[in-house]
Amino acid sequence: MTLLDDIADVGRDARRGGWSRHLGDDGEATLREWFAEQAQRRGLQVETDANLNLWAWWGSPGPDAVVTGSHLDSVPGGGAYDGPLGVVSALAAVDALRERGVRPSRPLAVVVFAEEEGGRFGVPCLGSRLLTGALDPDRARGLRDPDGITLVEALGGHAARLGPDPERLARIGRFVELHVEQGRVLAPRGEALAVGSTIVAHGRWRLSFTGRADHAGTTRLDDRRDPMLAAAAAVLAARAAMVRHGDEARATVGRLHATPDGTNVVASRVDLWLDARGPLPQALVDDVVAAAREAADAEGVTLEVRSESSSGAVTLDPALADTLAAVTGAGRLATAAGHDAGVLAAQVPTGMLHVRNPTGVSHAPDEHAEDADAEAGVTALADVLEELCR
Ligand code: GLV
Ligand code: MN
Ligand code: MN
């Protein structure tokens, strides 16, 4: 908790509340420096890979390494724990192993993945997707932030280096990500920790409605081609689809941008982002798009739909999950949040540990973990690392 306190003022967002820490901004840069300093203090060897992920090695980088860590970036106006709890717990677990006199018999690394939330460039798990080859580096280079700045412009010369890194990946024997619980299952169970079992399929789609800008006062009903009407239909359709597709379905519009964004102007264009999750996210999207098209046609507005990211359902490595459960005594937890662990799992045996979140709130300032639970998380992670490094 001292480590979390250390960074509590970094990237605070006075306008939105909470924290906004995005790739390349001052807060995120400060967190990178902070992490490097913390790692060096512990005698770990720090490097930044081609995809802007940070690695801190205990022992020389080598094969069959045990890797733990998470991310330090946040959603816009996010909480203090999603990402940072996994990173500080990893550092604290290294301290715990040292205190126990453990000398790992294989390389151990703490990793900080870049831009996990996709808060600036739109694609989540940017660093881990690039590392594993799940994202084409050319596509990544062309991604734009909300101000129209491309990733190439933001990164300068480094952008040329982006891309899959099979050698680095081949060094990872096992990856374990500790994460604050997102949702509220553990509090009613009376359990502080859980072992991750699955990650639900999820993705992001951008719906762009184009109409005609005009005067809010003088434009008669029949003359309007207002993209906001079709966008509103899409928002309502997202909720209707979620109701129709059952308990595990989620469809959310949390971000919408009108152009030119004037109170007394009929918008010329509205972009909105649909986050869809569940056993069949595409079915949710299809429902929303059908309703949006109908509303767009009725208003004389065009609609363009683009998939910005997509992640299939993930079952975390069953053998590793058994080990985590045996070592920690914790039960299992499925999650509907995305993680770098979900990306890594396609190529490396990967596990997760979740730490109880008593509010259940996440991606918002009310996200929380009690000190005692965070400490239990560190002890559990240290136990797991000790076992895996044996
Ligand atoms: C990331 O936390 C996500 O679930 O979108
Ligand atoms: Mn998150
Ligand atoms: Mn996270």
pTM of the model: 0.97
Tens digit of each residue's pLDDT (9 = 90 or more) over 10-57: 999 999 999 999 999 999 999 999 999 999 999 999 999 999 999 999
Task: Report the C-alpha gap between 169 and 200 in whole angstroms.
Answer: 24
Q: How far is the CA of 335 from the centre of ligand 1 (A)?
A: 10
pLDDT in tens, the chain (390 residues): 899 999 999 999 999 999 999 999 999 999 999 999 999 999 999 999 999 999 999 999 989 999 999 999 999 999 999 999 999 999 999 999 999 999 999 999 999 999 999 999 999 999 999 999 999 999 999 999 999 999 999 999 999 999 999 999 999 999 999 999 999 999 999 999 999 999 999 999 999 999 999 999 999 999 999 999 999 999 999 999 999 999 999 999 999 999 999 999 999 999 999 999 999 999 999 999 999 999 999 999 999 999 999 999 999 999 999 999 999 999 999 999 999 999 999 999 999 999 999 999 999 999 999 999 999 999 999 999 999 999
Task: Report the C-alpha gap between 167 and 265 in whole angstroms.
Answer: 54
Task: Identify the pLDDT of residue 1.
Answer: 86
Q: How far is the CA of 226 from the centre of ligand 1 (A)?
A: 32
Own/partner long-range contacts of 233-236 (Cβ < 8 Å, ≥24 apart): 233/291, 233/292, 233/294, 233/295, 234/207, 234/272, 234/274, 234/288, 234/289, 234/291, 234/292, 234/295, 235/272, 236/291
Closest Cα to atom 1 of ligand 1: 338
Domains in the chain: ranges and CATH: 2-200+313-388 (3.40.630.10), 202-311 (3.30.70.360)
Evaluate: CB of 230 within 6 angstroms of ligand 1. no
SS3 labels along 53-113: CEEEEECCCCCCEEEEEEECCCCCCECCCCCHHHHHHHHHHHHHHHHCCCCCCCCEEEEEE
Evaluate: CB of 79 within 6 angstroms of ligand 1. no
Task: Report the C-alpha gap between 378 and 65 in whole angstroms.
Answer: 19
Evaluate: CB of 232 within 6 angstroms of ligand 1. no
Q: Are 328 and 193 in contact (CB under 8 A)?
A: yes
Tens digit of each residue's pLDDT (9 = 90 or more) over 136-163: 999 999 999 999 999 999 999 999 999 9
Task: Identify the pLDDT of residue 80.
Answer: 98
Evaluate: CB of 180 within 6 angstroms of ligand 1. no
SS3 labels along the chain: CHHHHHCCCCCECCCCCCECCCCCCHHHHHHHHHHHHHHHHCCCEEEECCCCCEEEEECCCCCCEEEEEEECCCCCCECCCCCHHHHHHHHHHHHHHHHCCCCCCCCEEEEEECCCCCCCCCCCCHHHHHHHCCCCHHHHHCCECCCCCEHHHHHHHHHHHCCCCHHHHHHEEEEEEEEECCCCCHHHHCCCEEEEEEECCEEEEEEEEECCCEECCCCCHHHCCCHHHHHHHHHHHHHHHHHHCCCCCEEEEEEEEEECCCCCEECCEEEEEEEEECCCHHHHHHHHHHHHHHHHHHHCCEEEEEEEEEECCEECCHHHHHHHHHHHCCEEEEECCCCHHHHHCCCCCEEEEEECCCCCCCCCCCCCCCHHHHHHHHHHHHHHHHHHCC
Ligand 1 atom nearest 337 alpha carbon: 4
Task: Identify the pLDDT of residue 137.
Answer: 98
Q: How far is the CA of 125 from the centre of ligand 1 (A)?
A: 9
